[in-house]
Amino acid sequence: MIQQSPENLLIRPGQQEARLECFHGDNSFPYMLWYRHRSAAGGQPRDMDLIGLLHYENADVEKTFATERFNITGHSKGRAQLTISNMKPADSAEYFCAARSTVCHLLRLLYKKLQ
């Protein structure tokens, strides 16, 4: 079972950083993934965006989030953190973590190298 905290996080004006934590106790999951889900205009749901993943202690942040503002740390077989710095109104969203035993990581790396 995955536990994410805090359940709700309200950022006040002037607050510069948000930190979310994810925990699971299953050693068979070497990957931990972080997602962002924002609402579109009118409150309609949008697709989930993969922020990045953690493979053991190695973070791989997606290109669209690969700024110094989004940072993934920790260990995928236990506790990991997503830190968002220099908060902006566009960061308002639901953030989710997930744990997996496998990820199509090699295919993604191959695709990146072919670009």
**Residues 32-56: what's their mean pLDDT?**
83
Query: What is the spatial distance between Cα 25 and Cα 46, in angstroms, rounded to a whole number?
Result: 30
Locate tokens 């006040």: which residue?
Answer: 12
Rounded Cα gap, residues 58 and 95, in angstroms: 20
**Residue 22 CB contacts under 8 Å (≥ 6 apart), including other chains:** 2, 3, 4, 32, 34, 74, 79, 80, 81, 82, 97, 99
CATH number at residue 107: 2.60.40.10
Provide the residue range defining the domain that includes 54. Answer: 3-114
pTM over 0.75, yes/no = yes
User: What confidence score (pLDDT) does residue 85 get?
Assistant: 93
Domain count, the chain: 1
Digit-coded pLDDT (tens) for 10-27: 877 778 899 999 998 888
Q: What does the pLDDT look like over 68-115, one tens digit per residue?
A: 899 999 998 889 999 999 988 888 889 999 888 766 555 454 444 444
Distance CA 57, CA 79 (A): 10
